[in-house]
């Protein structure tokens, strides 16, 4: 079975079904509300309700109650680890083919429900229909890709020959036992991918979802149970990262942690998780993603690529461009065209068909935007710079002109704020990129192959693109563009959606039988 990306919207347009796409999405926006305003339990091999609750409100209006979720206790967390550890061998012993088949079934189930999941994401994390669908499609891709990768590698079991006469040896990759997944709000697909890697390879997984998308994560875990994953091997625990997360990643019964989020939290987890014994710690900690625009670019292509990368989903992507280094010879022309192009993006309710970007994720992000803007001189703001006065957490797409502030030029902001900076040469631009502590994604716009080759040869960044109009530093596709962070952006050096990814959740055992 060859791997094929889901690509729902593109394929429906190719089949002349664009109107049907919009009709089904609009219907799902209404139908999915039947899930709202209910209480959802923890899933710890059975339903568990705690005394303290988390109330989840939609960022669309800060009023719509998505649901009530459990604030997990230390006792529940410890019970979850015990259950997961006691049962992981049963899951592994099913064999790689059975586990892969369950994941392929889960991919089919999610594909059948993708309109509902996409509509739910519009409510939970404020994505427009195109971004939401791309997110759910990527989740489906992860499930299928990892299943096929496991099958292709025959469960990572290989015969290694005969060192001595009468001995037969083989190498078997086996699971560690229990992995904790601490997931982010911005991509449902990241949650799915982070769970899939350790789970399909035979580990038990405890998912601590983002408190900003708890319902879509809950529904995903239910779907995996329906597909055939035992409830004891995939556990859902909602709650605060400080309480639940730390209890779990410091527990001696947890063998590994998969984390996506901020640098500060990621480094804290990496350090504290190792205090009792060595553990696998796979962290993706964001980036300061930079696009270089040279004098030899196609300027219309560059403007669109930078704008879409910076402002798609309000800059709340790990890969979003937040700094553009522009050749000084075209700097004034470029920024004028960029402001003109970016001003056309519609910021509105993401459930509406014509919306480009909806709200930022929560009050904290909304207030953070204002605090940053308070530090920027008014004359440096080329576009935006203000919060939008309406229900919900809406802010303007913002472009800044050569601010020179390292807190803006070198720090991940995770907001629709793009800083422009003139440079004298490509080598100066690459040197600036390499001086960053981060190294997640980036891009270049140039029609000169030698310039592209120079960038590709010298940029210390995990995911790079040349002349990508659809998003100059964004939009990695499972199977084609492994998503991997260098330097402070990640710890493993192995990309998601890559043929190297699954082996991180396995440890090698050499077995020899003497005849």
Residue 484 CA to residue 475 CA, distance in Å, equals 13
Residues 6+ apart with CB under 8 A from 172: 156, 157, 508, 509, 511
Quickly tell me which residue has 């030029």 as its tokens. 409
DSSP H helices in 228-291? 246-249, 263-272
Asked whether 410 and 434 are in contact (CB, 8 A), the reply is no
In 35-162, which ranges are E strands?
38-40, 42-43, 47-48, 53-57, 65-70, 157-161
* Known catalytic membership, residue 284: yes
Residue 32 CA to residue 16 CA, distance in Å, equals 26
* Known catalytic membership, residue 321: no
Residues 6+ apart with CB under 8 A from 130: 9
Read off the tokens for 99: 């586990």
Residue 112 CA to residue 122 CA, distance in Å, equals 18
Widest Cα–Cα separation across the chain: 81
User: SS3 string of 477-496?
Assistant: CCCCCCECCEECCECCCCCE
User: Using CA of residue 12, residue 13, residue 19, residue 21, what is the dihedral sign?
Assistant: positive
Residue 310 CA to residue 319 CA, distance in Å, equals 9
Angle between helices 114-124 and 129-152 (to 10 degrees): 120
Asked whether 104 and 141 are in contact (CB, 8 A), the reply is no
Write down the catalytic residue from 124, 138, 284, 396: 284
Asked whether 369 and 393 are in contact (CB, 8 A), the reply is no
Write down the catalytic residue from 50, 131, 318, 409: 318
Just list the catalytic residues.
Answer: 284, 318
């Amino acid at each position: 079975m060859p791997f094929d990306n889901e690509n729902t919207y593109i394929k429906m347009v190719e089949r002349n079904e664009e109107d049907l796409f919009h009709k089904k999405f609009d219907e799902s926006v209404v139908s999915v509300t039947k899930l709202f305003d209910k209480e959802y339990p923890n899933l710890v091999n059975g339903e568990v309700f705690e005394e303290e609750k988390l109330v989840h409100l939609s960022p669309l209006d800060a009023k719509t109650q998505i649901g009530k979720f459990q604030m997990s206790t230390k006792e529940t967390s410890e019970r979850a680890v015990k259950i997961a550890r006691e049962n992981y061998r049963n899951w592994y012993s099913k064999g790689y083919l059975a586990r892969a088949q369950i994941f392929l079934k889960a991919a089919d189930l999610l594909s059948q429900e993708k309109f509902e999941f996409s509509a739910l994401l519009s409510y939970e994390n404020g994505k427009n229909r195109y971004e939401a669908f791309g997110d759910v499609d990527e989740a489906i891709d992860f499930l299928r890709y990892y299943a096929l990768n496991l099958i292709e590698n025959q469960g990572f079991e290989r015969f290694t020959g005969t060192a001595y006469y009468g001995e037969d040896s083989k190498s078997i990759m086996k699971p560690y036992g229990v992995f904790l997944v601490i997931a982010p709000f911005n991509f449902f697909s990241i949650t799915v991918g982070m769970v899939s890697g350790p789970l399909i390879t035979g580990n038990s997984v405890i998912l601590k979802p983002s408190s900003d998308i708890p319902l879509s994560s809950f529904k995903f875990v239910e779907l995996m149970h329906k597909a055939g994953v035992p409830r004891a091997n995939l556990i859902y625990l909602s709650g605060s990262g400080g309480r639940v997360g730390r209890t779990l990643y410091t527990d001696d019964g947890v063998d590994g942690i998969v984390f996506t989020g901020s640098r500060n939290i990621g480094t804290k987890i990496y350090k504290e998780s190792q205090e009792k014994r060595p553990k696998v710690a796979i962290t993706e900690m964001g980036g300061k993603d930079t696009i270089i625009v040279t004098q030899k670019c196609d300027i219309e292509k560059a403007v669109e690529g930078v704008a879409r990368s910076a402002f798609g989903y309000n800059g709340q992507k790990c890969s979003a461009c937040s700094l553009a280094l522009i050749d000084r010879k075209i700097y004034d022309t470029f920024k004028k065209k960029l402001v003109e192009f970016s001003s056309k993006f519609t910021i509105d309710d993401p459930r509406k068909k014509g919306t480009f970007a909806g709200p930022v994720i929560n009050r904290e992000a909304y207030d953070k935007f204002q605090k940053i803007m308070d530090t920027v001189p008014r004359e440096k703001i080329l576009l935006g710079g203000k919060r939008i006065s309406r229900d919900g957490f809406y802010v303007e797409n913002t472009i800044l002109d050569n601010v020179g502030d390292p807190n803006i030029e070198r720090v991940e902001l995770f907001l629709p704020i793009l800083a422009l900076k003139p440079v004298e040469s490509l080598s100066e631009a690459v040197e600036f990129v390499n001086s960053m502590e981060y190294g997640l994604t980036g891009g270049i716009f140039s029609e000169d192959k030698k310039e592209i080759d120079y960038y590709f040869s010298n940029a210390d960044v995990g995911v790079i693109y040349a002349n990508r109009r659809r998003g100059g530093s964004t939009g990695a596709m499972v199977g084609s563009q492994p998503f991997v962070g260098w330097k402070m952006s990640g710890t493993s050096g192995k990309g998601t959606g890559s043929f190297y990814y699954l082996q991180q959740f396995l440890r090698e055992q050499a077995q020899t039988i003497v005849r």
